[in-house]
Amino acid sequence: MENLIKLRDPGAYFFKKPSKVAIRLNRNALIVFHHPSLEGCAVVLHEASHTTRELVEKLDTLLNKTKAHLNGKQTAFEAKIFGLSYYQEILVVTIYQWMKKNKIEISAQDIGRNVRRNIIIDCSTGNVGVRYAENYSADESATASA
């Protein structure tokens, strides 16, 4: 696959189109932001064992950088949330509260459920494809590699 980026490390990222991003997601949280005016998509990968403060810092940093990329225009972003196979209510509540505070609509989510996800993000469109891993064991360690 051309322009495929394998994302492994937690952080806040902006990927320009026509890139595609591949992530193997287990217990971590993945938040994807997109808007048609963007020349790509913004991605936050947060390790579930890290603090909610770190999550909010990543989300704030990425939102500010994305708004700067749009030259400060007020724009309604859409967000998609994935992962957290070991459901952690505090992380989910933090994400929902942050989205509400920043007036960002959640257009899709696939969280909880004890399953590993293989995700491909098309940065040109903001579309996210999810394939569920076979032979998953609940005892596997949390990973975010593809």
- How much of the chain, in percent, has pLDDT values that exceed 70? 87
Model confidence at 143, in pLDDT bands (50, 70, 90)?
very low
- Do the beta carbons of residue 42 and residue 33 sit within 8 Å? yes
* CB count in 10 Å sphere of residue 78: 15
Q: Which residue has the tokens 């890139």?
A: 19
Catalogue all structural domains in the chain, each as residue range(s) with its CATH number: 4-132 (3.30.1330.200)
State the pLDDT at residue 114: 85
- Do the beta carbons of residue 23 and residue 9 sit within 8 Å? no
Global pTM reads 0.85
Q: Please write the tens of the pLDDT for every residue from 131-140.
A: 998 655 544 4
